Structure 1
Amino acid sequence: MTYKTIVAVLSAAEDAGKVTDHVLALARSTGGHVIGIHAEAPVVVTLIAPMEYPDPNAVLDLQERAQRQSREVEAAFRSRCERDDISYEWRLFTGAAGYASAGVIESARGADLVIAGQFDPDFDGPAREDIEDLLYESGRPVYLISNAPAGPEPIRKVLLAWNGSRESARAAFDALPFLTAAESVEIFTVDPPDDSTQSHDFCGAELAASLARHGVTVTVASGASHGHSVAEALNRRATEIDASLIVMGAYSHSRLRQRLFGGVTSAMMRSARVPTLMSR
């Protein structure tokens, strides 16, 4: 198994080059086909008081701004793909639905992997809702590139977050191409349960045995949160073992609860220090 069809989510000119560089690094190693997608921002009509008529100049300015960004994103994507002689195609979607549109979701569902930039509130890149829509609706693993300035690097060590849930199991096997190629993988559980049905000493042991049969060099570890969030514990552990990728399940709780109260998924979307692969 390998990633042969890779969707690159290119939301803004600020992150298009970085996302494309990461996608091409993976495509070169797998011989994969890359699909660049961009959802052009809809025009927001500005009203002027007291008659509340649309300001035509403001509408034209917004249209041109959105179209200019689309052209910049496309140019950054095409130039890199042609430079590397990679099989690729470009898809532009317009409409109010953004990255939740049927065309974008259909493109993602036909891919082995979706790659996007990490949510960053400081520029007009992918919003949290954009990533959530792709993650929740596409049924495909989403690989988030961290906001750290480093470029694409070989994935030598992987931190696999494990809590025994369906989502974390899905993520582990969706990430199998990365795991088999890595030098080592650590299955890490934060605050593992210890009760009559399971012992924290064996948490992740069965998954480790299964991955080992695929040739993965895998170890099992656990740690206590000590009052900190699970996201903080995962980031801290990734730093300790010098992991270059975190693999984790998403939305162990309902999506509504996740949006209202936050959670590990939301926190990692914002604060993961290394690339993170999430599956739902």
Structure 2
Amino acid sequence: MSYRTVIAYIRSTQELQRIYRALALLAQDGEPMHVTGLYVIPTPVIYSDASGFIDASFYEGHLRHHQKNAEAVAHLFQEQIARYATTSEFLIVRSESDNASQTINEFGMAADLILAGQADPDDPDTQITPLDQLVYNTKTPTLIVPYNFHPPRSIRQLAIAFNGKYEASSAAFDALPLARHCATVRIVWVNAPKPESEEAATTVIPAPHRDPDAPREAPEIAVRLQQAYQRHDISARIDLIPSEGQTVQDRLRAYVEANEIDVLIMGAYSQSRLKELIFGGVTRSFLANMPCLTLFSR
């Protein structure tokens, strides 16, 4: 099992170099991989002045900039992509809106994985297309490359941020192609609920046989996920982390850094996007401050 069809969304030549470093890691399994490089030219929002005049030169300048930028990205892509992909293509398409996420997601419907870069504060071309909209609207797992990415020699340490919700479960199984080559896979649950007592349990399904090394207080669904991974010949451990008065995102980020995790797997927006916008949330926090390669899935 591997990612055979990858959509690489690219906004600048500088970002493409980061995308290449991530592709090099994906290509280490030696399996065939087709990569579609995608440059999306957004339609700008143009406002008229008080008299109703619209300056057409702004639109023309916008198109010239993106056409020149797209050609530079295409040239670099075609020059180096053969190092990482078995087959490839590069597409320059126009979006009908000022946001490219819908166009990217349409291509993602026929792919195993979307690969994109986090916006770089020093690279204005990467400021378009907020990644939260891309991650929220797609059903294709999306691997985000941090703007300050320092790639490991290989992906050896993988952590699944699990909370017992559908999005986290979906992400865990979308990550199987990454997990099967890792030395260590961790199922990490911050503030896991305490398991029900035998008297309080109402399920008629027998509890799973627990790994003797699994924490006794691990929720049953975490143990079942661990067993599902074992059926793929992937050994996974369960780590339960108390919040100790900190936010989930802060505890999780500290765990990633302390354990030198190479790739983090997360279910995206398990609470509503409006709730995340008002109160904050783990997804938005990690999209803004990413300690490592992160796979988001919904």
Give the corresponding residue for 1:270.
Answer: 288
TM-score by length of 1: 0.88
For the aligned residue pairs, the C-alpha RMSD in angstroms reads 2.5
Give the corresponding residue for 1:111.
Answer: 111
Distance 1:155 1:116 in 2: 18
Conserved 8 A contact 1:9-1:114: yes
- Where in structure 2 are the equivalents of 1:199-210 lying within 5 Å? 201-203=217-219, 204-210=222-228
Give the corresponding residue for 1:233.
Answer: 251
The code of the aligned residue for 1:156 comes to R
How far off its partner does 1:54 sit? 2.8
Give the corresponding residue for 1:93.
Answer: 93
Structure whose alpha-carbon radius of gyration is higher: 2
TM-score by length of 2: 0.83
Distance 1:244 1:84 in 2: 19
How far off its partner does 1:262 sit? 2.6
- Where in structure 2 are the equivalents of 1:1-280 lying within 5 Å? 1-27=1-27, 29-45=30-46, 47=48, 51-82=51-82, 86-97=86-97, 98-101=99-102, 103-126=103-126, 130-151=130-151, 153-194=153-194, 196=196, 201-203=217-219, 204-280=222-298
How far off its partner does 1:84 sit? 5.2
Residues 15 and 207 of structure 1, relative CA distance in 2, 3 Å threshold? same
How far off its partner does 1:181 sit? 0.8
Instruction: Structure 2 unaligned segments of length 5 or more: list them.
Output: 202-214
Conserved 8 A contact 2:144-2:294: yes
How far off its partner does 1:7 sit? 0.8
Give the corresponding residue for 2:208.
Answer: none
Conserved 8 A contact 2:33-2:85: no
Give the corresponding residue for 2:211.
Answer: none
Instruction: Structure 1 unaligned segments of length 5 or more: list them.
Output: none
SS in 1 for 2:164: coil
Distance 2:288 2:132 in 1: 12
Distance 1:156 1:218 in 2: 13
The code of the aligned residue for 1:246 comes to L
Conserved 8 A contact 2:195-2:217: no
The code of the aligned residue for 1:37 comes to L
Conserved 8 A contact 1:185-1:217: yes
Distance 1:6 1:25 in 2: 13
The code of the aligned residue for 1:10 comes to I
Conserved 8 A contact 2:132-2:287: no
Distance 1:16 1:153 in 2: 19
How far off its partner does 1:226 sit? 2.1
How far off its partner does 1:183 sit? 0.5
User: Could you give the per-residue CA deviations for residues 192-232 of structure 1, whole angstroms, max 9, x where no partner exists?
Assistant: 11253689712322211221221112111111222222122
How far off its partner does 1:132 sit? 3.1
How far off its partner does 1:17 sit? 2.1
Figure out how many residues of one structure are paired with residues of the other and give that number.
278
Kindly, what percent of the aligned residue pairs are identical? 26
**Mean alpha-carbon deviation: is it higher for 69-78 or for 244-253?**
69-78
